Structure 1
Amino acid sequence: MANVGNKRSVILGVVGLLLVAFGAVLVFLVPVIMKQQVEKNVRIDPSSGFAYEMWRDLPVPFYMSMYIFEVMNPKEVLLGEKPRLEERGPYVYRERKQKVNITFHDNSTVSFVETRTFQFDPEKSAGREEDYLVVPNILLMVSAQMSKDLSFAVKILLNAAYVMYDQKAFMNRTVKEILWGYSDPFLDLINTLLPGKLPFKGKFGLFADFNNSNTGIFTVNTGVEDISKVQMVDTWNGLTEVV
């Protein structure tokens, strides 16, 4: 019986020592493994697989909710009454960000262009893109404000254009046109008479240049050689600083 007890004690002692040794190894080994895995998944490297795919084409959905105030009494407003507004929306759009034209360089940097597109989400929206709303004619308001500093001759041309293109204080447009733009010959005329004065060309809308747009050419550090520099911007459109 004594021998059996001694054997058990020896076995338990050995097992205990092994557990202590294993625990000591884990204390030093786990942080190293975790650090390696974090660096592998954070740095920009095509060999990292899923992490690189997530960086290139972010799967997390982003949503933009838009509310538009419709003018319910446009005729009365022109007669001097206060506008009566009603909120429409939300009109929800899903934003997708994707990096294209990806080029890796020898100095541990990568260049890319990030595009953004917006797609209407009818399930999350409280209306349709085809809803017609009465809103102020922003293009008319902007041109009228700009005309204050123009020559008398140009003012005459603009006033004639208001009549020619039937420009009114309020317009009845779809949500899609209001947000993402619509073609207007009056806009073409303004850009001809006053080149460079308006940020809109071709179409006029609150976010006409926002959809299917890009952020320019970014060059950032991949973190392959120095993980502390990962995602640090090296240049933007070839510039090291923006004034």
Structure 2
Amino acid sequence: MNRSNCLWCCGIMGVCLTILGTILLPLLGPGVSKILAKELELTEGTSGWESFIFTPIPVYFQIWVWNLTNPEHFLNGEKPHLEQRGPYTYRLIMFKENLVENDNYTVSYTSPTGYVYVDDMSVGPSSEVFTTVNVVAFTAAALARSFGNSTDDRVHQALHLLSDAKILMTVSVDGFMWGYEDPYLKYINDLTNVSLPTKFGVFIGSNMTSDSVWTVNTGGDDIAKLNIIDNVNGKSSLDYWRTDYANMINGSDGTFMHPELDAEKDNRVYIYVGIICRAAHLDYESKYKRDGILFYRYNVTEYLLAHPSINPDNADFCDIAGNCPPSGLINLTVCNYGAPLFGSLPHFLYGDKELTVNVSGMNPNEEEHRVYLDKDPLTGATMIIQVRAQLNFKVEKYDHLKETQYLKETYLPVVWLNESCDLDDEFVKYYKTSVLLPLNFALALFITILVIGCGLLFGTLITVYKDYRERKNPKKHKPTNMKEVHEKPQLERFTSQTPLENDFTDIVNDKPQTTL
């Protein structure tokens, strides 16, 4: 192949590769978007469906209890001294069952959760005991007061005395969470001779059971609505609060949302949290990389838990009488059968100063006690979770309960919880090989095609231009070395002389020279 044909081939190839790279590179983004929308749709057979049914990352549920170390002094009106004990750790078995794909691009399901105790991640066995308030006794006292007549107070007083109950109790961690025999319930069961439940526990009956039917959007008609809650138990709103705004069930369950998150457009995510009986929002904080994976961090801010004087939206979450708890507390009374129960972050993080002043043992630390979700912006999946909550009982004086006569109004922490998950090596490897590797390979391939095409094209153009300049302005031959410079004039001199001149020159050169 001669030089001209070679240049033609390189030029044509350069043009073709440049055009191909220029077309393919802009199509990579829309192409990835289309693939993600198809694969993440909550439809049987997709990658999103598999992760939707079975959580691919290990999830743990940890418990810290607050042990009351000065019970006698507390009953005499002194500040309660609390000692944190924990964690007591469970591995969560999370899955979805009874799945029904509906015609309106939604899917309904139940979501039972199993709890398996993990000894080597716990401070001790769950049979360890601690001292705290009698939850049932204070709930009954609050209900009797709310009814507003003395008869109910006297009935509760009689029940309290006859059942030999106390307003403080010592109970095992396992019993407090999953059920212990309560004196009130046992007395009523024995008195009526009817088979009634005699046990009470904060999470009693929730191990491997689910009493809620969730319906969420599949993203089939609009990927932006992926996993957004449509209704819970057939209801698209709650009925606990005073306004439609407060009763909204909006957002997702927090596990994942639409792909290709934008830090500016998606600067706030909403999730519905059943344990606090309302939806909440987390705000975008920052982005970072870990194990080669990019994450967006969303966290609960102090503003979400602020008093209505600071955050007016929280006025809708006050009780019917308009009574609002201090900053840092969420009123859970309305959705827990009248129990004087209030939620907060652990150690009253972001709470009003009075909360930590009235009890000892609180050491709020933002890094250890805040709530955040770390999302993969490409898929919208939440891969790192730290969801923390503290349950507090409002204790105060009740006239019909003699034991409470010296109590001061206090929000007493009982237990705090942390549901968490983190990346493990197996998932990181799977994610990199299944998601990042194909994407990065395609990007590198398209860029390589474009670079090679541009290189060939510009190289060909430069070569053609140089050839053109040389043909238009030819230059005289220049000697290439010193030997040529000295030998060429001498050769020309000898070839131009006649034979006689040559002989004469030889004689002159052989004759010794003399100096005058």
Q: TM-score, normalised by structure 1?
A: 0.77
- Give the equivalent residue in structure 2 for 1:94: 91
- Give the equivalent residue in structure 2 for 1:106: 103
The partner residue of 1:204 within 180, 200, 207 is 200
> What amino acid sits opposite 1:124 in the alignment?
M
- Give the equivalent residue in structure 2 for 1:238: 234
Q: Which one has a bigger Cα radius of gyration?
A: 2
3-state DSSP class of the match of 2:121? coil
- Give the equivalent residue in structure 1 for 2:14: 16
The partner residue of 1:135 within 108, 132, 136 is 132
User: Comparing both structures, which one devotes a greater share of its residues to strand?
Assistant: 1
> What amino acid sits opposite 1:127 in the alignment?
G
Flag the 1:191–1:156 CA change in 2: closer, same or farther, 3 A: farther
The partner residue of 1:162 within 160, 179, 200 is 160
- Give the equivalent residue in structure 2 for 1:220: 216
Flag the 1:167–1:10 CA change in 2: closer, same or farther, 3 A: same
Flag the 1:84–1:97 CA change in 2: closer, same or farther, 3 A: same
Distance across 2 between alignment mates of 1:41 and 1:214: 28
Distance across 2 between alignment mates of 1:241 and 1:147: 29
- Give the equivalent residue in structure 2 for 1:196: none
Aligned-residue offset at 1:34: 0.9
Distance across 1 between alignment mates of 2:37 and 2:190: 54
**1:59 aligns to 2:53 (yes or no):** no
For each residue in 1:157-213, what CA deviation from the matched residue of structure 2 results, as whole angstroms up to 9, or x when unmatched? 5444434433123322110111222232512556999xxxxxxx6532233355445
Root-mean-square deviation (Å): 3.2
> What amino acid sits opposite 2:86 in the alignment?
G
> What amino acid sits opposite 1:174 in the alignment?
S
Flag the 1:109–1:191 CA change in 2: closer, same or farther, 3 A: farther
Instruction: After superposing the two structures, state which structure 1 stretch, 77-86 or 38-47, moved more.
Output: 77-86
Aligned-residue offset at 1:69: 1.7
Provide the aligned length of Structure 1 versus Structure 2. 233
Flag the 1:144–1:237 CA change in 2: closer, same or farther, 3 A: closer
3-state DSSP class of the match of 2:42? coil
Distance across 2 between alignment mates of 1:156 and 1:164: 12
Distance across 2 between alignment mates of 1:233 and 1:208: 26
Flag the 1:114–1:192 CA change in 2: closer, same or farther, 3 A: farther
Distance across 1 between alignment mates of 2:82 and 2:221: 58
For each residue in 1:113-162, what CA deviation from the matched residue of structure 2 results, as whole angstroms up to 9, or x when unmatched? 22233333323222321111122222223333444457666555544443
Instruction: After superposing the two structures, state which structure 1 stretch, 33-42 or 212-221, moved more.
Output: 212-221
Flag the 1:170–1:43 CA change in 2: closer, same or farther, 3 A: same
Flag the 1:170–1:218 CA change in 2: closer, same or farther, 3 A: closer
Map residues 32-43 of structure 1 onto 2, 5 A cutoff.
32-43=30-41
Distance across 1 between alignment mates of 2:76 and 2:220: 67
Aligned-residue offset at 1:37: 1.1
3-state DSSP class of the match of 1:25? helix
Flag the 1:127–1:81 CA change in 2: closer, same or farther, 3 A: same
- Percent of matched pairs sharing the same residue: 29
- Give the equivalent residue in structure 1 for 2:81: 84
The partner residue of 1:72 within 69, 72, 82 is 69
Distance across 1 between alignment mates of 2:31 and 2:189: 61
Flag the 1:144–1:192 CA change in 2: closer, same or farther, 3 A: farther
Flag the 1:242–1:145 CA change in 2: closer, same or farther, 3 A: closer
- Give the equivalent residue in structure 1 for 2:4: 6
Q: TM-score, normalised by structure 2?
A: 0.40
Distance across 1 between alignment mates of 2:149 and 2:22: 84
Flag the 1:228–1:144 CA change in 2: closer, same or farther, 3 A: closer
Distance across 2 between alignment mates of 1:81 and 1:154: 29
3-state DSSP class of the match of 1:101? strand
The partner residue of 1:182 within 166, 172, 180 is 180
- Give the equivalent residue in structure 2 for 1:197: none
Flag the 1:142–1:7 CA change in 2: closer, same or farther, 3 A: same
Distance across 2 between alignment mates of 1:205 and 1:121: 20
> What amino acid sits opposite 1:220 in the alignment?
V
3-state DSSP class of the match of 2:45? helix
> What amino acid sits opposite 1:219 in the alignment?
T
**1:45 aligns to 2:43 (yes or no):** yes
Gaps of 5+ in 1: 194-200
Gaps of 5+ in 2: 192-196, 240-516
3-state DSSP class of the match of 1:47? coil
